[in-house]
Amino acid sequence: MKALVYHGPGNKAWEDVPDPRILQPTDVILQIDTTTICGTDLHILKGDVPAVTEGRILGHEGVGTVIEVGAAVRTIAIGDRVIISCISACGACSYCHAGLYAHCLADEGASGIGWIFGHLIDGTQAEYVRVPFADNSLYRVPDGVQDEAAVMLSDIIPTSFEIGVRYGQVKPGDTIAVVGSGPIGLAAMMTSHLYGAARVIALDLDANRLDQARSFGATDTVDSGAPDWKEQVLAMTDGLGVDVAIEAVGIPATFEACTQIVRPGGRVANVGVHGAPAQLALDELWIKDIAITMGLVSTNSTPMLLRLVAQHRLAAEKFGTHHFTLDQILDAYETFGNAAETKALKVVIRR
């Protein structure tokens, strides 16, 4: 088959590789019908995720059709159209029983790390993929839900909701700021309304992203490159700061910005994947009763979010702005990697 293979920082190729095969009785093999590219894939290509070794097939998002099932698979059948969760869960370990699938202890890739696709095992940017623990790691796509919407439930929408909105403890009436208006930030804005956020302030350097933010639920926008960006946010919050600041980029400057605009007793929810340390001004923050949260998505919210998409309560398909076929995946990377010029949010890559 053909697949997008990582060959070290800055190097990737669409090339021939062996077809995947069943290795464990809980595995299935899927034909990839739709996949996409995540900001984490760009971090990998920059060398920010050293656990990804040369020869790894990238990608951790996708919708596919089951073509082969292992002997122990109970709830998934050949022909099923399914969402591939970015997090693999054995369903039997103590972390899975607690719903913390991100830290599944099963011995697949590395014990204690649920994110394995395109990281510790071969991923979804390929014609076919092996999925371990299929009964717990796949979700049937309801009739009427298109691939373009379903693929957004592999990662970005659960990630933003769980790590941004839920970890940030967004409450009805809260004022929140989302620093970074890329796909993850936009998904946080969209899902913040599930918990009743009253005011959603979007911050970004890109005017196009700020324009997009309003259609995803932002009530206000701030150019974070403006000299008075902080004063603009404080002016919207009686000078005290926001109830919740969500970091959705993954660089030190945006994390530090969140700590500067959160009010006493507020919360900073870090969603971005960081490739370098960020400074924490404890000498200023200790007296403000600030809570800081972070984490890897567990995707335990996926069934609920899928029901909302099926009932047209979440317009997940809005994220797909550019469309390609699998054999155009290098062009898709070029488009996604230059989003400031191309205005891409998520690229949709079909078979």
Domain boundaries, the chain: 2-155+299-350, 157-294
Task: Indicate whether 179 pLDDT > 90.
Answer: yes
pLDDT at site 112 = 66
Which residues, listed in sequence order, are joined to residue 62 by a DSSP beta bridge?
35, 84
Percentage above 70 pLDDT, the chain: 99
Q: Does pLDDT of 118 surpass 90?
A: yes
Beta bridge partners of 221: 202
* Banded model confidence at residue 275, pLDDT cuts 50, 70, 90: confident
Q: Is residue 48 predicted with pLDDT exceeding 90?
A: no
Q: What is the pLDDT of residues 74-84, one digit of tens each?
A: 999 999 999 99
**Residues 120-148, mean pLDDT to the nearest whole number:** 97
- 157-294 CATH fold: Rossmann fold (3.40.50)
Predicted TM-score (pTM) of this structure: 0.95
Topology (CATH) of 2-155+299-350: Quinone Oxidoreductase; Chain A, domain 1 (3.90.180)
Task: Name the residue with tokens 């078979």.
Answer: 351
Q: What is the 3-state secondary structure (H, E, C) of the chain?
A: CEEEEECCCCCEEEEECCCCCCCCCCCEEEEEEEECCCHHHHHHHHCCCCCCCCCCECCCCEEEEEEEECCCCCCCCCCCEEEECCECCCCCCHHHHCCCHHHCCCCCCCCCCCECECCCECCCCECEEEECCHHHHEEECCCCCCHHHHHHHCCHHHHHHHHHHHCCCCCCCCEEEEECCCHHHHHHHHHHHHHCCCEEEEEECCHHHHHHHHHCCCCEEEECCCCCHHHHHHHCCCCCCEEEEEECCCCHHHHHHHHHHEEEEEEEEECCCCCCCCCCCHHHHHHHCCEEEECCCCCCCHHHHHHHHHCCCCCHHHHEEEEEEHHHHHHHHHHHHCHHHHCCCEEEEEC
- What pLDDT, on a 0 to 100 scale, did the predictor assign at position 22? 98
Predicted confidence (pLDDT) per residue in 326-342, tens digit: 999 999 999 999 999 99
Mention every residue, 6+ apart, whose C-beta is less than 8 A from residue 129.
20, 29, 30, 32, 57, 62, 64, 84, 117, 122, 123
Mean pLDDT over 220-242 rounds to 97
With bands split at pLDDT 50, 70 and 90, how would you rate the model's confidence at 23? very high
Structure tokens at 194: 């599930």
Predicted confidence (pLDDT) at residue 136 exceeds the cutoff of 80 = yes
What's the Cα-to-Cα distance from 228 to each of 214, 224, 315, 337, rounded to whole Å? 21, 8, 33, 29
Angle between helices 207-215 and 183-192 (to 10 degrees): 30
pLDDT beyond 70 at 129:
yes
CA 54 from centre of chain = 23
Distance in angstroms (rounded) separating the CA atoms of residues 318 and 222: 22
Whole-number Å distance between alpha carbons of 137 and 159: 15
Q: Which residues pair with 223 in a beta bridge?
A: 204
